[in-house]
């Protein structure tokens, strides 16, 4: 409950791990400044963790293992959730919001799976729900989409939104590090999720892609609507092959607005590794940095860049939201939530227009090229470049296509697998940039 005399807002912190610890540090170390910016003191009234009895460098009297009890306690004004996962976090936040507590969350998995339920609870409780930290760590991207670009029409978002996979791919590219070694480093640095499968299999990026697409296109996109591929199949040979083409491999999230044949609109949202020309603005985004490239009708192209993972960068975004919800609360106001009014059709991946880089082990005989080219032609897929590496039994053909539907490209790969002269389809990867759709 807001104390009008003392002007203190009481904060329940759910989670005290990589991000939570930094939230505590920032609130404590900037206490006076935050009080001046908010107009009231932000006081941490309790901290929920899973395992009690550990020294966490915080006042032990604040610790509890009853997150739900803390979130709905009468004296709590603001709830910060930095635990992660769907349940029990959803139940805690729904009950806190219905009880009128303003909520700040970094939980992209929950927001992408069931943001609608949280928004309904926020509306029922007349409370704020802010989640800037859920996408791209410290980078302010959700607020620009929700506010600054609200008068424009966004057509496309291309992003690197997972720090762990970008760290792994950048290390493989620049130092030749192995996949597992780089993943261990990313985990040690606090970038990876509690279960890093969420990072390397693309679930984390897909959740962020769903949140970005929902805000950019004013429609409901959930994680289940996002085509998702991770980076576990990316090999050192793929990275070297990309390098030979003047490209680098990145895990991209791509959200596009389309005009359908009947004049209506649809959106496609996908996450997959892709070869990107080194001249592309996203190609130079290394380490655990993230970047989001936004294209809009009037604004043109914008790029948002910064630290996308790690305790302190993420806590920076959490604190920004905390100040915003605290101010709203003092003003007796609530931010107008984004409406999914556009209700756009979600296009399946098969309809997306992409390009493929295909590497084949072939028998180096006369007519091989013609047979391979015919397989592409049967699917109406046009080849942009083709080159042969090696000779005889070691011959490899590398083909890069022009843009075609993903369905036609996938069918081409299946047809190539059936050709007797193709010993092995060594790798298939999409290519982004460098050609209009």
Ligand X SMILES: N[C@@H](CC=O)C(=O)O
Ligand Y SMILES: NC(=O)C1=CN([C@@H]2O[C@H](COP(=O)(O)OP(=O)(O)OC[C@H]3O[C@@H](n4cnc5c(N)ncnc54)[C@H](OP(=O)(O)O)[C@@H]3O)[C@@H](O)[C@H]2O)C=CC1
Task: Name which of residues 301 to 330 contact ligand X (CB under 6 A).
Answer: 308-309
- Side-chain-side CA neighbours of 133 within 13 Å: the count stands at 29
**Among the listed residues 314, 130, 124, the one whose alpha carbon sits nearest the alpha carbon of residue 215:** 130
Chosen residue from 163, 202, 230, 433 binding ligand X by CB under 6 A: 163
Within 8 A by CB and 6+ apart from 162, the residues are 199, 202, 204, 205, 208, 251, 290, 308, 309
Select the binding partner of residue 84 from ligand Y, ligand X, none (C-beta < 5 to 8 A, by kind). Answer: ligand Y
204 contacts ligand X (rule: CB under 6 A): yes
Shortest Cβ 317–ligand Y spacing (Å)? 8
Interface with ligand X (CB under 6 A), residue from 22, 128, 193, 256: 193
Closer residue to ligand X (CB): 143 or 243: 143
Residue 162 binding partner per list ligand X, ligand Y, none, with a CB distance cut-off of 5 to 8 Å that depends on partner kind? ligand X
Is 193 labelled as part of a ligand binding site? yes
Tokens of 99: 């009880």
**Least gap, CB of 351 to ligand Y (angstroms):** 30
Minimum CB distance to ligand Y smaller for 16 or for 103: 16
Say how far apart CA 181 and CA 15 lie, in whole Å: 28
Q: How far is the CB of 269 from ligand X (least distance, A)?
A: 17
The residue within the footprint of ligand X, chosen from 137, 159, 230, 273 (CB under 6 A), is: 137
Is 108 marked as binding a ligand? yes
Q: Does 230 contact ligand X by CB under 6 A?
A: no
| From the list ligand Y, ligand X, none, partner contacted by residue 190 (C-beta under 5 to 8 A by kind) | ligand Y
How many whole angstroms separate alpha carbon 283 and alpha carbon 287?
11
- Select which of 6, 98, 101, 208 is catalytic: 208
Q: Which residues contact 27 (CB under 8 A, 6 or more apart)?
A: 11, 34, 42, 44, 319, 322
Burial class of residue 173 (count of CB atoms within 10 Å of its CB; 0-12, 13-18, 19+): buried
Determine whether 208 is an active site residue. yes
Would you state the torsion angle of the CA atoms of residues 356, 367, 411, 200, taken in this order, to the nearest 10 degrees?
-40
CB of 202 to ligand Y, least distance (A): 14
**Residues with a known catalytic role:** 208
């Amino acid at each position: 409950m807001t104390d009008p005399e003392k002007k203190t807002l009481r904060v329940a912190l759910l989670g005290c791990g990589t991000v939570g610890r930094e939230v505590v540090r920032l609130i404590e170390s900037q206490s006076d400044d935050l009080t001046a910016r908010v107009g009231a003191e932000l006081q941490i009234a309790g901290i929920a963790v899973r395992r009690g009895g550990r020294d966490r460098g915080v006042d032990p009297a604040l610790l509890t293992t009853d997150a739900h009890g803390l979130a709905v306690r009468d004296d709590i004004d603001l709830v910060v959730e930095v635990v992660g996962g769907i349940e029990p976090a959803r139940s805690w936040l729904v009950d806190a919001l219905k009880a009128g507590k303003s909520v700040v969350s970094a939980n992209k998995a929950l927001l992408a799976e069931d943001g609608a339920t949280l928004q309904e609870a926020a509306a029922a409780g007349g409370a704020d729900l802010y989640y800037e930290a859920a996408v791209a760590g410290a980078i302010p991207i959700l607020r620009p989409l929700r506010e600054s670009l609200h008068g424009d029409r966004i057509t496309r978002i291309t992003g690197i939104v997972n720090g762990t996979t970008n760290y792994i791919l950048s290390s493989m590219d620049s130092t030749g590090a192995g996949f597992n070694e780089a993943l261990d480093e990313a985990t040690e640095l606090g970038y990876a999720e509690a279960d890093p499968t969420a990072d390397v299999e693309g679930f984390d990026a897909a959740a962020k892609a769903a949140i970005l697409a929902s805000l950019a296109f004013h429609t409901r996109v959930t994680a289940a609507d996002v085509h998702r591929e991770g980076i576990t199949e990316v090999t050192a040979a793929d990275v070297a092959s990309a390098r030979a083409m003047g490209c680098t491999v990145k895990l991209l999230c791509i959200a596009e607005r389309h005009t359908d044949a009947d004049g209506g609109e649809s959106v496609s949202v996908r996450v997959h590794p892709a070869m990107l020309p080194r001249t592309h603005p996203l190609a130079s985004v290394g380490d655990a940095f993230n970047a989001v490239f936004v294209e809009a009708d009037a604004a043109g192209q914008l790029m948002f860049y910064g630290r996308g993972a790690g305790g302190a960068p993420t806590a920076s975004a959490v604190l920004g939201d905390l100040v915003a919800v605290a101010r709203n609360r003092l003003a007796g106001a609530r931010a107008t939530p984004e409406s999914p009014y556009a209700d756009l059709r979600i296009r399946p991946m098969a309809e997306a227009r992409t390009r493929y880089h295909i590497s084949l082990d072939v028998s180096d005989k006369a007519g091989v090229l013609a047979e391979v080219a015919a397989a592409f032609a049967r699917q109406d897929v046009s080849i942009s470049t083709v080159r042969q590496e090696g000779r005889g039994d070691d011959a490899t053909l590398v083909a890069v296509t022009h843009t075609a539907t993903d369905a036609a490209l996938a069918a081409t790969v299946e047809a190539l697998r059936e050709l007797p002269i193709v010993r092995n389809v060594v790798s298939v990867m999409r290519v982004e940039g460098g050609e209009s759709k």
